[in-house]
Amino acid sequence: MSGGIIKVSRNTDNAPKSELSTQSVAFSHYNNISAQLPVDPKTGEIIVGGVKEQATQCLTNIKAIVESIDHVMDDVVKINVFVKNIADLDAVNEAYAAFFQEYFPTRTCVAVSALPMSDALVQMDALISNGEGTYPQDPCELIKLARNTERAPKGELSTHTVAFSHYNNLSAQLPIDPQTGALVTGGVKEQAAQCLTNIKAVLESIDVPFDDIVKTTIYVKDLASIDEVNEVYTTFFPDSAIARTVAYVPARSTVVAADLPMDALVQIDVVVSHGDGTPPQEVEDRHGIVIRANNTDSAPLNALYTQTVAFSHYNHIAAQLPIDLASQGLVAGGAKEQAEQCLTHIRSIVESIGHVMDDVVKINVQLRDMADFDALNEVYPSFFEKELPARTVIGVADIPMGAAVQIDAVISNGEGTPPQV
């Protein structure tokens, strides 16, 4: 099946459309949903009401997209919730619970500095399972495995880990002691260690090694604390002798949040390779698929992440800053030039592994000033020839190196990784 799977990009009139993204981009056994603002698709305006009503509209838009491609909300495996005020999470949760019947997907909640429409109080994006696959795969009745463990903090509105096919998404882990339900004592180092300990406990509960993580996203409240977080992070990666031999570390993004639940200093979520797949895939194939990590000198290198980590039919690209390779400083110019540089780095990485930008299924953008949204959009479409990928844009409190923009990506990987063919 090398290179033969086809990306399926779709829009529906029942949800807000954008000239700069596609609502739903399916590839293989997953489907990426663009971030949904609380916009009435008929008027194109933010709905009237408070954050609860806005959260309902975001989820209604997601539901409309999901149903337009013959899926249901219980096919959702991951939801990201971005609020302007962390205190609004209780109201968001009131609306949220009504949209899921059988189980709650994995979830990450974070307060952001701004959203693309100034009157928006909340925005959500989603990842859904896609059992039918995309052409020329044959439809299959894969089973979603949703699991919790007593060894990590539980959330009433999320599941610790949801596996489907060859990927597994974990809910964001806060620095909570699972025994007490409270934040651990200490500063950001202790909190980062607890987040990663909770992630490790979840993975061990489903017999998955820590080095099966392919992408990590670290949310911090203060960019100045990232060195302390990294000090702890490097004690968890690489975890195994094999990973240490090849110096494997996953792709990574660092996002500076305006606030985090429970007033935490750090929160971490991960995406995990799942070699054994989910039934009816053969259990004896467990860990048979190879993680393929790759770096290129054509984009900035960093000892804390791998630029691109492929597993099965997806490939995760680490967050790219607008770094000039010659000077190792920020590229000259404003937000437009910086956005162009970030996307140029992503393209260099994508092309270094024999892919093209139209293989991208999802783009995540962080802006330090939402006033730069138009500058981003000026250069963004020029990097794609066909349908634009799904996209999420948020405003953040800060970005490493004082950059105006940072961008990461997920790309389709039609050739798969060995031993798949």
Residue 384 lies in a domain: no
Kindly state whether residue 400 falls inside one of the protein's structural domains.
no
How many other β-carbons are positioned within 10 Å of the β-carbon of residue 347?
Answer: 20
pLDDT in the model for residue 315: 98
Query: How far, in Å, CA of 182 to CA of 288, rounded?
Result: 39
- pLDDT recorded at residue 94: 97
Answer yes or no: are the C-beta atoms of 314 and 30 closer than 8 Å.
Answer: yes
Structural domains in the chain (count):
1
Count CA atoms within 13 Å of residue 351 on its CB side: 11
Measured distance CA(205)–CA(172) in Å, rounded? 16
Low-confidence ranges of the chain (pLDDT < 50): 1-2, 284-285, 421
Indicate whether 147 belongs to any domain. no
90 in a structural domain = yes
Residue 297 lies in a domain: no
Q: What is the spatial distance between Cα 14 and Cα 322, in angstroms, rounded to a whole number?
A: 36
- Read off the CATH number of the domain in which 52 is found: 3.30.1330.40
- Say how far apart CA 239 and CA 350 lie, in whole Å: 27
Q: Give the pLDDT confidence score for residue 140 in this predicted structure.
A: 84
Reduce the DSSP state of residue 176 to 3 states and report it: strand
- Residue 342 annotated to the active site: no
CA distance linking residue 210 with residue 233, whole number of Å:
12
The residue annotated as part of the active site, out of 109, 140, 195, 342, is 109
Compute the mean pLDDT over every residue in the chain, rounded to the nearest whole number: 95
Alpha carbon dihedral 255, 261, 263, 268, in 10-degree steps, equals -40
Are 308 and 394 within 8 A, CB to CB? no
Which domain, by its residues, includes 52? Answer: 1-136
Predicted local distance difference test score (pLDDT) of residue 399 = 98
Does residue 194 belong to any structural domain of this protein? no
Distance of CA 154 to the CA centre of its chain: 20
For residue 6, being part of any structural domain is answered with yes
Q: What is the CA radius of gyration of the chain?
A: 20
CA distance 48 to 131: 37
Q: For residue 25, what are the β-bridge partners?
A: 9, 32
- Can the peptide bond before residue 419 be classed as cis, meaning omega within 30 degrees of 0? yes
With CA atoms as reference, report the closest residue to 314 among 168, 125, 162.
168
Taking the C-alpha atoms of residue 6 and residue 355, their distance in angstroms, rounded to an integer, is: 13
Q: Which residue has the tokens 């054509």?
A: 298
Q: Output the pLDDT for position 287.
A: 58
Rounded to whole angstroms, how far apart are CA atoms 231 and 393?
Answer: 29
For 216-268, the DSSP string reads EEEEES-GGGHHHHHHHHHHHSS-SHHHHHHT---EEEEEE-SB-GGG-SEEE
Q: What is the pLDDT of residue 284?
A: 44
Q: What is the pLDDT of residues 31-44, one digit of tens each?
A: 999 999 999 999 99
Does 63 map to a domain?
yes
Q: Give the Cα separation of 82 and 65 in Å (integer).
A: 19
